[in-house]
């Protein structure tokens, strides 16, 4: 199970939100590059970057910061937030990003994600499935939809997507434990890989996710508060 540290960027700083609420933000560092270097030095084989400004505005807002991180670290990056076109995805891949994460656009323009899989390659494409009470949330989690998370995974799998980052918005940032049952329901779609995100607050939580069979886990607040040690988590589960 891959352990993937997260760097959420807003206004050029490293922040964490509570349950996806932009009004409940904690700033953990002023320099995302230094944080990326720290996670790499502690053993990260991959880093998850979210452009929170872009997630809400619909276009990349922190591209220069992402480029600075690319220059500083060797660990591959997967980047989400504000990727609503093939041009934007290609711009990130050309800059050196390994994987791009489509979120809102998977609901609004599912055919675009299918084209991305065809033109960019399935390994370069991830779809983010962010759900609140089982229903998909979009626009940086600020808007709800009438689509269930399971339905989105099935639809995107038919379009060629094989990897999903799945977040229970209600659990995100709480350190109260992941929604394992919801993740297991998503994994019933055959041939897909699930990366869990949201709610992890201990090594025991990681053990539960490992038993559930997820491909990877994205760690955010748990790392920044010291609730989980990245080297220890990597040594035990990766």
Max CA pair span of the chain: 42
- pTM, entire model: 0.93
What are the pLDDT digits (tens) for 118-171? 999 999 999 999 888 788 877 655 666 778 999 999 999 999 999 999 988 777
CATH number of the domain that 226 lies in?
3.20.20.70
Q: State how many domains the chain has.
A: 1
Residue 56: pLDDT above 70? yes
Give residue 54's pLDDT: 92
Provide long-range contacts, Cβ within 8 A and 24+ apart, for 82-87.
Answer: 82/51, 82/53, 82/54, 82/55, 82/57, 82/58, 83/54, 84/58, 84/59, 84/108, 85/112, 86/112, 86/115, 86/116, 86/119, 86/120
Domain of 200 in residue numbering reads as: 2-237
**Active-site pick, 51, 53, 130, 205:** 130
Active-site annotation holds for 74: no
Q: Using one digit for the tens of pLDDT, what is the confidence trace for 208-222?
A: 999 999 999 999 999
Under 8 Å between Cβ of 110 and 156:
yes
Distance CA 205, CA 220 (A): 13
Residues contacting residue 61 through CB under 8 Å, at least 6 positions apart: 51, 53, 54, 82
Given 8, 51, 172, 205, the catalytic residue: 8
Residue pLDDT, tens place only, 89-128: 999 999 999 999 998 888 889 999 999 999 999 999 999 9
State yes or no: is 87 an active-site residue: no
Residue 59 has pLDDT above 70, yes or no: yes
């Amino acid at each position: 199970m891959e352990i993937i540290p997260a760097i959420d960027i807003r206004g050029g700083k490293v922040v964490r939100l509570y349950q996806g609420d932009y009004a409940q933000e904690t700033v953990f560092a002023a320099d995302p590059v230094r944080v990326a270097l720290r996670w790499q030095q502690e053993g990260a084989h991959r880093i998850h970057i979210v452009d929170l400004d872009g997630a809400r505005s619909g276009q990349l807002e922190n591209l220069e910061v992402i480029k600075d991180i690319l220059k500083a670290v060797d660990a591959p990056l997967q980047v989400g937030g504000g990727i609503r076109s093939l041009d934007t995805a290609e711009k990130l891949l050309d800059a050196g990003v390994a994987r791009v994460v489509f979120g809102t656009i998977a609901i609004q323009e599912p055919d675009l994600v299918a084209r991305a899989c065809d033109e960019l390659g399935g390994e370069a494409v991830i779809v983010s499935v962010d759900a609140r009470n089982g229903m998909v949330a979009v626009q940086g989690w600020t808007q709800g939809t009438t689509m269930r998370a399971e339905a989105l995974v099935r639809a995107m799998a038919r379009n060629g997507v094989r990897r999903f980052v799945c977040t229970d918005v209600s659990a995100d940032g709480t350190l109260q434990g992941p929604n394992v049952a919801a993740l297991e329901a998503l994994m019933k779609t055959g041939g897909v890989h699930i990366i869990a995100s949201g709610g992890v607050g201990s090594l025991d939580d990681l053990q539960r996710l490992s038993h559930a069979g997820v491909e990877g886990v994205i760690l955010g607040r748990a790392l920044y508060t010291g609730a989980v040690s990245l080297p220890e988590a990597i040594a035990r589960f990766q």
